[in-house]
Amino acid sequence: KNFLCGMVQNEHLEHCEAYGLDAARAIFFPHGGPVPLANQRPSAERDIDILFAGNVQTVPDFKTWLKTKFPKSDQLREVLLGIEQRLYATNAQPFSTVLGALKAAGIEITPALLAQMYTPLERFLINRERTNVLSAIQKHSLTVIGDISKEIIEANPQHKFLGPRTYGEVMDAMARAKVSLNIVPTVRSGGHERMFYSLAAGALLVTDQNEFLQDDETSNPFVNFLPDDLEKLDAMLEFWLDDDGVLDKTRAEAVAHYAQRHTWVQRLEPVLEFLNEHYWTHKTP
């Protein structure tokens, strides 16, 4: 009875009872980032044009993947195949979409089923989107840190693949990057730390469509969503990379905007308020 569960995105908070949590003891707790670096490099001193830090594995087409993952679950495969295109939409909320489809099909939703089904599905969606984004960038060289499938490396000779690196090396790379990519299509109503650590380091952020960041996308020039049509991504990147001065003009403003909204300090405030109200304040019976 003595717990508080933080949910990375609002979508999960809305459905937390589906996987066995008490909604009264759950709170929205997206990732945040550190205080900004005191000394921000100008663009001319940043030797990495575009950075992506994350793992990417090759995946087959969805129907083949479903047969491999759920060979004995005909109904589950049919339900997931029926919502395939909805899962790929740039404004998709995959977890809610899956829950709705399962309910409509009369499939009992249990924590065990969600653990067995949604975890590999989420990884499939992430790998698929990351592969598509990496392949869409043809006119610029992307520096990629992480465990990447051999097939993806061979298919994208225009990029520089460094393999896995330590946390410290990734943080250093963010401070040397002009643009940083965040590709997590299953987190569209919350925050992944990759976004905020990039902003703290003064790198322009390009990320998935995200309800949580909609206000920032309109008010912070360093927060930008991937285009619906990935064929437009190269032109989008070219605008920021052709002239170092473009980013330099707004970097200080953008970093200050981030610092007011998305550091771990701001993230902890509602958590501390909840703990104080429910656990720490002595109440006389």
The pLDDT tens digits for 164-213 are: 999 999 999 999 999 999 999 999 999 999 999 999 999 999 999 999 99
Q: What is the mean pLDDT of residues 29-46?
A: 96
Long-range contact list for 152-155, CB < 8 A, 24+ apart? 152/56, 152/57, 152/58
Mean pLDDT of the region 262-276 = 94
Other Cβ atoms less than 10 A from the Cβ of 43: the count is 22
Give one word for 88, left, alpha or beta, with left for phi > 0 and alpha for psi -120 to 50: alpha
Q: What is the pLDDT of residue 1?
A: 67
When pLDDT is cut at 50, 70 and 90, the band that residue 28 belongs to is very high
d(CA 121, CA 133): 19
Phi, psi of 236 (to 5 degrees): -65, -45
Q: Chain centroid to CA 226: how far?
A: 12
Which of 49, 42, 39, 3 shows the shortest CA–CA distance to 23?
A: 3
Backbone angles phi and psi of 108, in degrees to 5 = -65, 130
209 three-state secondary structure: coil
Q: Which tokens belong to 25?
A: 């003891």
pLDDT of 51 over the 90 cut: yes
Residue 5 three-state SS: strand
C-alpha distances out from residue 82 to 108, 113, 125, 148, Å? 18, 18, 15, 29
* DSSP symbol at 54: S
Q: What confidence tens digit (pLDDT) does each residue in 111-154 have?
A: 899 989 999 999 999 999 999 999 999 999 999 999 999 999 99
Q: 193, 15 in Cβ contact below 8 A?
A: no
- Start-to-end C-alpha separation, the chain: 19
